């Protein structure tokens, strides 16, 4: 899959709506990853037991107290994502990427 965003892209991040609702599958979000580095990833659909798409370790680590999410990069061969660092707790997701404004050739909403 072709990456949605590239190094040097400038985006607008919605900090308000994501703080009031759960991240949805396929949304591009900003989160605090390993080492508190801010990274951009896409929320994957929630795996279910027996789903061969995801390793079983991703399914078992969710908590009743706080939901966690599988996040994936759009370029799996060159991406550090939940396959590397596991599920992300809800409190580490703080924004939703909604618009790219730079470069002008890529201007538009993020899907």
Give the integer Cα–Cα distance in Å for 55 and 26: 19
What is the chain's Cα-based Rg? Answer: 14
What beta strand segments (E) does the chain contain? Answer: 10-14, 28-32, 38-43, 68-69, 71-72, 88-89, 93-102, 108-109
What does the DSSP 8-state code read for residue 64? S
Give the integer Cα–Cα distance in Å for 82 and 73: 9
Label residue 53 by pLDDT band (50, 70, 90).
low
Q: Mind listing the pLDDT tens digit for each residue in 56-99?
A: 555 555 566 888 888 998 887 888 888 888 889 999 999 999 99
Give me the residue label for tokens 């996040």.
71
Peptide bond between residue 103 and the one before it cis (omega within 30 degrees of 0): yes
Q: Mind listing the pLDDT tens digit for each residue in 6-32?
A: 889 999 999 999 989 999 999 999 999
Q: What architecture (CATH level 2) is domain 10-109? A: Ribbon (2.10)
Q: What is the pTM of this model?
A: 0.81
Give domain limits for the chain. Answer: 10-109
């Amino acid at each position: 899959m072709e990456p949605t965003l590239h190094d040097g892209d400038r985006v607008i991040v919605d900090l308000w709506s994501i703080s009031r609702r759960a991240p949805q599958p396929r949304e591009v979000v900003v989160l605090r990853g390993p080492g508190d580095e801010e990274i951009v990833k896409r929320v994957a659909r929630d795996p279910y037991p027996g789903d061969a798409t995801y390793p079983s370790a991703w399914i078992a680590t969710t908590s009743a107290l706080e939901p966690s999410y599988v996040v994936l990069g759009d370029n799996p061969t060159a991406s550090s994502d939940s396959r590397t660092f596991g599920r992300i707790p809800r409190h580490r997701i703080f924004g939703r990427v909604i618009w790219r404004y730079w470069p002008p050739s890529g201007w538009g909403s993020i899907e």
